[in-house]
Structure 1
């Protein structure tokens, strides 16, 4: 017998011995139960690793809610929902009034402005009033077209306007929504260093509410606010969002405008072009305009804006 044959025999013998030992162990430990137990232990270990990894990722996500993270998420939502659809959102009893607690969370807060049925809905909004001359003209045009709008009134404008009581009562009696734009419109007070001072904002809104109650009665209350300069212009939004939710309030920005916010008159034609471009192909629009006497082109162009939106199939609604 050669050395090679002897080596092979030794290896074969060793393998047989190990096989016998394994068989004995399996029999003593319950046969296939032993194998099943080992497989289960392996699965449990793998599952636990996955769970710990997922827990870690979840905790990491919770701890990373910085302002930059919020901004990134907002941009992603805009991109993801550009072509998405929404379902019917009108739940209010009046045929021109929608429930703000349904509409805003399902549209503006998620940047979803498209409907499954492609029904067109426009919410016209006017900031900074009431004004001595413009408000009554705006109300006349809206009445002539049987349109209800949302007026974000300002406390200082009310105090400076001797016609304010009369105009606010007319708005209310004609079915328009009177919403809260705060008292001061003071950026330095409300947003020091560009960061929302939540307490200052709430106090400013409450001060305006008190003025409105003094004119419209103690039963007056609005769930809708608009921050001067808009909600997305400032940092520190998460804390304000939590506070508004706690108070049952809803902030309302816009997704279309005529461009009258900068205080300069660019002419009716430019304002119309701004409106056309920002409306685009959206099914749901929240249109920003201003109710001040220096926005003459807004008043002069309002009927044309309405005609344009009607030609696109929009119906006009308000929120409460």
Structure 2
């Protein structure tokens, strides 16, 4: 089994520790076998303080990090009073030295400060809770920070925004490891969306809030039922009963992206599901997801996922394309 080690510190947020245990713990193969082993470790085994009125007992020390395939670092209340230089304590530095090269590293909320201070985020894109973005930029100006997204995934190092985005992060890792079918089943068991629209931009306080009863959710639901068809900005604005300009502004406020960016993301997600769960040829997948042609689908996969559709399908279905298939990984895009 893939071993996930949740590495906690004093002042932990209990929900952030529970999320990886609950989600990875529910992931099952088609035969019902557990796909992950999830264990907790800390700096000094024993009682660990939380930000509530109870503690938790963690029997495992940092040596367990040497046995991890994935390490997840949740937030701690000490992250909200970050040191001026963004440096790790000697004890935490020594603990992280147990991590093997190639181990997947992830953070929830301000756990990203630890990954940044330890050097795991050098040359990578990251996110953190939007309230801590200014501190992060001040302490780690060399790291590209995007405070508007729910999570980032860059070269096997992942970061997520606030507490609940730990759900999005874990589901993303499960989806990447074992495919959408497994991740969707875990999401259903947790009663959470398998994929949330937009980023944390929709949760950031605005200086001048603009209250309105109208939303773009009806247009999004309408589009999701018609992904195999041509959909224009005019169409979506008409469903909402507002002008294109008003619709675009409200859409970005609610999702953190433009309507057409969102639509492309939904088409890509549909294409991934079809590649994983059906044997449809790539051209048919492109048509069913509204991407038009196999060429367009290959170009989108190359730019967003770094692999050809055939390679993606092989990874998640263990399927080799038939000889002579037009969907070969060697096609240049």
Question: TM-score w.r.t. structure 1 length?
Answer: 0.29
Higher relative contact order (CA 8 A, sep 6+): 1
Question: TM-score w.r.t. structure 2 length?
Answer: 0.28
Which structure features the higher share of helix residues? 1
Radius of gyration: which is bigger?
A: 1
